[in-house]
Amino acid sequence: MTRLRLAYMGTPDFAVPGLAALVEAGHEVACVYSQPPRPAGRGHRVQPSPVHRFAEARGIPVRTPRTLRAPEEQEAFRALGLDVAVVAAYGLILPKPILEAPRLGCVNVHGSLLPRWRGAAPIQRAILEGDEETGITIMQMDEGLDTGAMLLREAVPIGPRTTASDLHDVLADLGAELVVRALDGLAAGTLPAVPQPADGVTYAAKLNRDEGRIDWTRPMAAIDRQVRALDPWPGVWFEAGGERVKVLAVEPVPDAPRARPGTVLDDRLTIACGDGAVRAVRVQRAGKAPVDGAAFLRGFRLPEGGVLASP
């Protein structure tokens, strides 16, 4: 292994395993870049990002600029004298002077099998669309949105009960493994960069809160995927009695009696949808602990035969 001098640029939990793996592999992490500390949690206290906390705990210098377009930030980055920069869910656009500063360029750990699901939310979009697999692509970055040439690529299956949280953890660990291998290949000059194919390009748009509301007219498989994809954020919910109820897990019930979408079919919170029904396995009212559907109905007035509204 050739020891490289690098900057690591990442922000959320997804990016922590990659940084840990590069430190463990013996590379010199000259600096970590992360999003500025922001209010978080119930108390809305300003907190550093997971990557920021990890780096500080290991004595690695951390920089948190709000933009990399300022000439002084670009000069400070060039002054690090880097062999390479590794980027994983950083959250800032890297302008051309940043991309070109390291000797071996900038390498991105992306949570999909490019060119499918370029963009901000590849893990969730893959589940929402019913993809049977996704994976990690290690990419040589250019100025486009996840358009750079591919260095390594490995697939991961998406099972019928896979959640975004499950997939997040698997892909974070796989990305850490692959980026260490990619840097070894780059340093040795043995890893060719393969252009992305022109066919099969899709875009993983950023998630928004409105996507979490259940439309009971949709098929049961789509509602099931929605719940598995959007927990913990933005969360999936329905309205009942003027209250928003979070849905944490469901299971399809294809043999349920047909009824108007949104109809409560039994005392286990089985709800009719476009082509069958889904049973709410775990739900949560505001300020209360999660419970199963039957327990929810024992404490909430939602009679059998009642109909939940759709958007």
Q: Domains of the chain by range and CATH?
A: 5-204 (3.40.50.170), 209-298 (3.10.25.10)
- For strand 84-88 and strand 106-110, is the pairing parallel, antiparallel, or unpaired? parallel
User: Could you say which residues of the chain have pLDDT below 50?
Assistant: none
Strand order in the sheet with 62-63: 62-63, 28-33, 5-10, 84-88, 106-110, 133-140, 150-157
3-class state of residue 153 by DSSP? strand
| pLDDT for position 311 | 84
Is residue 64 within 8 A of residue 52, CB to CB? The reply is yes
Query: CA torsion 190→142→157→125, rounded to 10°?
Result: 180
Residue 41, pLDDT score: 74
How far apart CA 176 and CA 199 sit, in angstroms, is 27
8 A C-beta contact, residue 217 and residue 274: yes
pTM here is 0.95
pLDDT value at position 208? 95
Between CA 246 and CA 24 the distance in angstroms is 40
Give the CB-side neighbour count of residue 212, counting CA atoms within 13 A.
Answer: 20
pLDDT at 43: 75
Q: Tokens 């893990």 label which residue?
A: 123
Instruction: Name the DSSP class of 15.
Output: G
Residue 40 confidence (pLDDT): 79
Q: Distance (Å, rounded) from C-alpha 98 to C-alpha 76?
A: 10
Predicted local distance difference test score (pLDDT) of residue 301: 86
d(CA 239, CA 224): 17
Q: Which residues, in sequence order, are CB contacts of 253 under 8 Å at separation 6+?
A: 220, 270, 276, 277, 278, 279
User: Could you tell me the two tokens for 253?
Assistant: 């019930």
In whole angstroms, what is the distance from residue 77 CA to residue 86 CA?
13
